[in-house]
Amino acid sequence: MSDKKNIDILISEVGPRDGLQSVNATMPTELKLKWLTALADSGLREIEVGSFVSPRLLPQMADAAELVAHLRKRPDVFVTALVPNLKGAEAAFNSGVQKITLPISVSEPHSLANIRKTHEQVYEEVRSIVSLRNERFPHVEIESGLSTVFGCTIQGEVREQDVIGMALRMVELGVDEVGLADTVGYANPAQVRRLFNRLRGEIGAKAGSAHFHNTRGQGLANVVAALEAGVTTIDASQGGLGGCPYAPGASGNIVTEDLVYLLESMGLRTGVDIDKLVAAREWLKQGLPGEPLYGFIPDAGVGKNFHYAGGAR
């Protein structure tokens, strides 16, 4: 997303995709639409609405095109989606999405488990997707979301030079930006700071978002490290929903509500109203009854001395 006027850090809400694909229940479309509206009303400016995948594999994502159409009515929201292959990319492009994220596993065993492709097959798929975009949908942005960057539950250690090598290959293939994801929650702040600094040094402005899981309780600490390395877009999921079904032991994403509080309390403008954001959880509770939702801020509140970085709302 190129427009970041009046904010310092862009929060990309990934709950409607990463969160909902990770639960067994399927949230009714009518409640998803109300949830998306509430998220947008809270001030979130980028929302990943779903994945363009086979509904047989992920029935939770079968209504992705309808969700894109709904949010595209909001000029204040940048609408994104995840796509694993060329077929999904074409469907996403035709739906009117503004950016797609390609899940690119640095760990080849994870790639085989997640999208059933070797690295060489992934490169061919990315080449085809970029070619399609350039020919027919030049206005759509393409992000390579590098996963298992800080370690993999299947492969184990993932070398930093392999991460940088994959990032360079993605840029060579024509993507617009490269983000880094801690798919299984192995990352620590020193590692995050070091790798994002290396990434910016290698690909400059094409270095994109940070995506952290809180599996081992270091999610927000890793956010601070990413900020210190110059990252200005952070993924998060309302209620901490999320996790990769093909990465054993990977629990939820960092909680959007807690992230907003962290950033605003540090004097960084997000454009998000915490009270409205917390209120949006009600649609999740209705759509996924009994599903655990996480976060400290929804329970504890923001406290009497809290002030928004951008001033009173």
Nearest to 210 by CA among 170, 254, 160: 254
How far, in Å, CA of 49 to CA of 71, rounded? 8
| Single-letter residue type at 186 | Y
| Within a domain: 305 | no
What's the CA angle centered on 259, arms 312 and 97, to 5 degrees? 95
Two structure tokens written together for 202: 């290698």
Q: Look at the chain and report how many structural domains it folds into.
A: 1
- Residue 60 resides in a domain: yes
**Is the per-residue pLDDT at 247 higher than 80?**
no
- Domain holding 70, by residue range, is 10-300
In a domain, 51, yes or no: yes
Q: What are phi and psi of 146, to 5 degrees?
A: -75, 125
Q: What would the pLDDT profile of 75-117 be if each residue is shown by its tens digit?
A: 999 999 999 999 999 999 999 999 999 999 999 988 888 788 8
Q: What is the pTM of this model?
A: 0.95
Return the CATH number at 127: 3.20.20.70
User: What's the confidence (pLDDT) of residue 236?
Assistant: 97
Q: How big is the CA angle at 253 (ends 61 and 56), to the nearest 5 degrees? A: 20
In a domain, 199, yes or no: yes
Q: What is the C-alpha separation between 53 and 241, in angstroms, rounded?
A: 19
Give the tens place of pLDDT for each residue, 129-188.
999 999 999 999 999 999 999 998 889 899 999 999 999 999 999 999 999 999 888 999
- Is 182 part of any domain? yes
List 178's β-bridge partners, or say none: 144, 207
Q: Is residue 77 domain-resident?
A: yes
For residue range 219-228, list pLDDT tens digits in order.
999 999 999 9
CA distance 293 to 281: 9
152 labelled catalytic: no
Query: Does the residue 308 lie in any domain?
Result: no
- Strands (DSSP E) contained in the chain are 10-13, 46-51, 78-82, 99-105, 141-147, 177-182, 207-212, 233-236
DSSP-derived secondary structure for 252-281: PBPBHHHHHHHHHHTT------HHHHHHHH
Contact 11, 234 (CB under 8 A): yes
3 within a domain of the structure (yes/no) = no
Active site residue: 53, 83, 113, 244, which one?
A: 244
Q: Could you tell me the two tokens for 28?
A: 């009714």
